[in-house]
Amino acid sequence: MSLIFLNLKRFDIPREKNGVNSISSPFSWGEFIIKNVQDKLSQFDDSTFVVFFPEAHIIPAVLAKNDLSPMIIGCQGVHYADTQKGGNFGAFTTGFPASAASSIGCQWTIIGHCEERRDKINLIAQGGGNDYSAVNAILNQEIKCALNAGLSVLYCIGEKQEELEISDKVLKDQLQMGLEGVNTEKIVIAYEPVWAIGPGKTLPDRSYIMEKAQYIKEITNGLPVVYGGGLKKENAAMLASIDEISGGLIALTRFSGDIGFYPDEYIEIIKAYHEK
């Protein structure tokens, strides 16, 4: 069983608005992706395919799914609080409650992506704080809300460049604090080496990824681990050869020229992973 995740970020923004969407009108972007991908995925029987959409595209994507679609819809995060009977009915302006995500058809959410962690660190710093362990505590609340709403969670962890010498401690803190008090039956861990993400960065080699995956499994009592640093055609065979890695997170399908998401290239990446 392989677990293939696709994070579409804000790829719905058209190029004339400084985005990277070249494939469809923003109004039909989510629908376009589902319709141009779901049938082609039927050839990969023993795999789970989860796609994380920006909020505005979740409902069109859900409606575009056919009854036999292998695609599972997810959202790109949930608020750290949720609706409660006799309590808050949903007054979370700018927040996205897990109950809302579940109600409109999401089955998964991604939590702790390096972009989300960076945003929370910036907020703490803006307030003059420097205790960034609070980020893991907030993510822990998000995970609990997601699970309580029936969502499965892709929990991202990873070390930055300045944390390489204490990498294991960073990962251990993110895991232990983020998963404290959590039933982990519906949790998958994405190992995201932040120091290696971006143009011109040196990618971790096979032995490094395997070492970190083994360590994560040791800390989490064997939770599934996928590579969150960018599954692509060039590294798919290498990642598939690592027993401790169960799949990957695709962030882009085209990394140069007209970057962005392209359905045919998404299928090529998956084929490369399964042709190990």
Residue-wise pLDDT tens digits, 88-102:
999 999 999 999 999
Q: Chain-wide mean pLDDT for the chain?
A: 95
* pLDDT confidence band for 130 (50 / 70 / 90): confident
Is the pLDDT score of 20 beyond 80?
A: yes
- pLDDT for residue 126: 93
The two tokens of residue 136 are 């893991």
Q: Is 113 a catalytic residue?
A: yes
Q: pLDDT of 71-86, one tens digit each?
A: 999 999 999 999 999 9
User: Residue 201: its pLDDT value, please?
Assistant: 83
- pLDDT-derived band at 66 (thresholds 50, 70, 90) equals very high
pLDDT band for position 65 (cuts 50, 70, 90): very high
Please tell me whether residue 18 adopts helix, strand or coil conformation: coil
Residue type for position 58: I
Q: What is the CA radius of gyration of the chain?
A: 18
Torsion angles phi and psi, residue 248, rounded to 5: -160, 170
Q: Average pLDDT of 3-28?
A: 96
Per residue in 208-244, pLDDT (tens digit) is 999 999 999 999 999 999 999 999 999 999 999 999 9
pLDDT score recorded for residue 110: 98
User: At how many degrees (to 10) do helices 167-178 and 133-148 cross?
Assistant: 40
Residue 61 pLDDT grade (very low, low, confident, very high; cuts 50, 70, 90) = very high
Beta strands in the chain (DSSP E): 2-7, 47-53, 71-75, 108-111, 152-157, 187-191, 225-227, 247-250
Residue among 31, 142, 159, 192 flagged as catalytic: 192
The mean pLDDT of 182-210, rounded to a whole number, is 94
- Reported as a pLDDT band with limits 50, 70 and 90, residue 207 is very high
Full residue range of the structural domain in which residue 65 is found: 2-274
Q: Which residue in 113, 116, 142, 159 is the catalytic one?
A: 113
Specify the CATH number for the domain of residue 102: 3.20.20.70
| pLDDT beyond 90 at 192 | yes
Q: Is the pLDDT of residue 148 over 90?
A: yes
The torsion defined by the Cα of 247, 113, 70 and 43, in degrees rounded to 10, comes to -30
| Domain total in the chain | 1
57 is catalytic: no
pLDDT at 257: 85
